Amino acid sequence: MILSGLYLSRFDKAALDNLGFDSFIEAFNVIGYALGSRPASIKNYRDEFDPLFPNGRKGWHKRATRDYCLLLFEQYRYLDLGEFTALIKSFFTGDGTLLPETEVPAPNQKSSSAFAQRLATGAAAEHYFASVYPDISTFSGLLMENTTLYGCGYDFRFRRALEHQEFLAVEVKGLSGQTGSLSMTPREYEAAAALRERFFLFVVRNFREKPSHSIFRDPLGAGLEFKRTERTILQISWLTSV
């Protein structure tokens, strides 16, 4: 969170452009939730560093910068824009990239905007859901299991007890704006078709301003129209014999 604030303060609008965000509010929302924190925390750390840079903002100029923030400032101040951008992206991917090999940006879509979009519909939306589900009556009192790494077609599973076979499944999606298009993978669509009333599509809206959410139970039968699309992707690999 501290390094994200330092990055946004130092590189200002260039930071937004390189991550694909339209505004600082969107960056605070997406990065904050994606890191499992609050958007206000990212803003506060950006403001913490603002007095150190000529970016036109005063930030927390009425007090000295905190020592632990100055320590990171000194450690990372010499990274250029490209290096720092790769570092920030690595917080969410491990290697500075976000798109898996099987996914590519849509035609005419910059890789930076693809990063912001994937982060919003992925980690940010999932952590948003994890922060609000206890207040949703459908899931309150149930045990939650994070299944994002299982490849089972949904992100979370809810049961009354671990030994219970019956469960509710939740697939989480995110939108930068209040409305937009969502895609489901074949595995997600198959899970929705098999589970029907036990499958929930949880949509986090409006990361650009103030996130809110909508819940669709049995999305295939809830009035949403899903259109099958196909896209051929050329994948290149290099082989050798040892």
pTM higher than 0.85, yes or no?
Answer: no
What is the H or E stretch that residue 146 is in?
strand 143-146
Cα–Cα distance for residue pair 49/58, rounded to 1 Å? 9
Tell me, what's the pLDDT at 111?
57
Tell me, what's the pLDDT at 94?
54
Q: Which residues contact 10 (CB under 8 A, 6 or more apart)?
A: 49, 53, 55, 77, 84
Cα–Cα distance for residue pair 184/171, rounded to 1 Å? 9
Each residue's pLDDT tens digit in the chain (242 positions)? 999 999 999 999 999 999 999 999 999 999 999 999 999 999 999 999 999 999 999 999 999 999 999 999 999 999 999 999 999 999 987 544 444 433 344 555 555 678 888 898 889 999 999 999 999 999 988 999 999 999 899 999 999 987 788 999 999 999 999 999 888 999 999 999 999 999 999 999 999 999 999 999 999 998 888 999 887 778 888 888 88
Give the N- to C-terminal CA distance of the chain in Å, as an integer: 44
Q: Which is it for strands 168-174 and 199-205: parallel, antiparallel or unpaired?
A: parallel
- The segment(s) of the chain belonging to CATH 3.40.1350 are 118-221
**CATH code that applies to domain 118-221:** 3.40.1350
Sheet containing 168-174: which strands, arranged edge to edge?
A: 143-146, 156-159, 168-174, 199-205, 212-217
Tokens 């009354």, residue located: 160
